[in-house]
Every structure is written in C-alpha cells, then in structure tokens.
Amino acid sequence: MKLDTIEKLCCPFDKQDLELKIILKDEKENIIEGWLTCATCTRLYPIIKGIPIMNPDEYREAHLEQPVLDRWQNQLEGKKIENFRLIEK
C-alpha cells in the first residue's frame, strides 16, 4: 500500500479518519505490514502483504488474521485486540 493511499481511506463504519501504524515497508517505502485504527470505534484493520483488510466485521475471519496479530503483539503497546477492536488491557 502506498503511503498516500491512507489519505483516501476512512473507517467504513463511522467514516472517520484512520491512524496508521507501520510495521514493515519495502525499499520503495510502500507499506507491507501494519494496521489502520479508527479513534472513534477503535476498530483495527490490518495491512497484510500491502493490502488493508477493511471488510465489515461479519465478513472478517478472525482465525485468518490472528497469526499476523499474534506476531505483532509486541507492537500493540500494552493494548489487545478483541472483536476487531484495539482496546486497553
């Protein structure tokens, strides 16, 4: 995902701006891994292999996202992910 793409995205639920956390970039500064979060509803949308996963909750499959989220556990800064939302522990 190109960095300027974030300016065109918003939370599909409440249409608010998203905050970006970058985990991995390639040599051209494209985002390979990271996540987008909505400050209003606290939903977390992972970026996996450069693609933001922004489906509605009912179409997301937690068991497919979980291995990546587990790998990012040390990046969550004391927070946890529950029901596709980033919450305080």
How does the average pLDDT of the chain come out, rounded? Answer: 90
pLDDT of 23: 94
Name residue 60's amino acid. R
Look up residue 22 and give its two tokens.
Answer: 């970058």
Distance CA 88, CA 76 (A): 10
pLDDT tens-digit map of 14-50: 999 999 999 999 999 999 999 999 999 999 999 999 9
